[in-house]
Amino acid sequence: MPDGLDATPEYDVFSQYGRLIIEEGIRKDEARRAPHDQLFSLQETKLQEPSKDRTEFVPLPAPKPGQLQVGILGAGAGGLYTAMILQRLSIPFEILEAQDRTGGRLYTHHFIAKDKDGKPLPHQPKHDYYDVGAMRFPKTNIMKRLFHLFDHLDLTTENKKLIDYYFVCDEAFKMYNGIRKYVKDVKAHSTDPDKVDPFGFAIDHGGDVNDDFIYPGYSSLYNDAIKPFTTALTNDTKPNAKPAGAGWRKLMRFDQFSTRSYMSQCLKYDMNAINWMETMSYSTGWYDQSLAETVLEDMVLS
């Protein structure tokens, strides 16, 4: 049995989030149905055959008469993991994948070093690659199931199939507004009122960010925006949480907002302050993602 299927975290906000989305979709679908509509039978419903000139078919055992076969669209990580679950439960399934590889967005591009004649070198540089898709897997409680799956697949740091990822390097540099600082020095200044703005973003230092935002610090402002949601969602996962689903409903009230628009319209942060927070903590455009995505991401990485 795949050990990765037995690893249940103390709380799993992602499975809860997905379940609530499904339940909400079912309720909306039922509300749209006329009172006398008949539910269709899955056995009588057939999907159109995919075009054979685009998809390679792998022969699979035919399901027994009267037994449904589950279709999985895509052989990415989610599709393959679902297949493991179905295989364990002896439920027949078929995976449909349009690409010529598995893995979905888990994709590493290897650069090919060539000689002067344009031919690939016999020995390629070890680190000459680029992780296009997911590449960071924080060992947190939410990710417990994933690391059990890693163990099942023998993906470990001991055999070098996984390598340590360092989120922070004290000896690295940060450089903004032409000012370069060691990371360790910036961290040391972050709680010092006299040195909280080492890169000159404040109006007093020639920048455009109001001191009212600078001096609490970007981490504090970020936590004020995001932590109420993560706390409420975590409370939802506790046994006998009351009221049930309160965190989910709290997040859904603001589901139409991006992170940036929520900070601007609901918290009244000015745009210069929001851009400064984004610059110091993430990358350009990060706050344009949905508020819900930022909240869930924070729960994974915290």
The residue to which tokens 């601007």 are assigned: 264
Scored b (16 or more CB within 10 A) or e, 166-185 reads: eeeeeeeeeebeeeebeeee
Residue 13: closest CA among 226, 223, 229? 229
pLDDT, one tens digit per residue, over 114-166 is: 999 999 999 989 889 988 888 888 888 888 888 889 999 999 989 988 888 88
Q: What is the pLDDT of residues 32-79, one digit of tens each?
A: 775 555 544 444 434 344 444 444 444 556 667 767 889 999 999 999
Q: What is the pLDDT of residue 251?
A: 93
Is the CATH code 1.10.405 the one for domain 200-301? yes
Is the pLDDT assigned to residue 286 strictly greater than 90? yes
Higher pLDDT, 66 or 8: 66
Using a 10 angstrom Cβ sphere, with 0-12 exposed, 13-18 middle and 19 or more buried, the burial of residue 159 is exposed
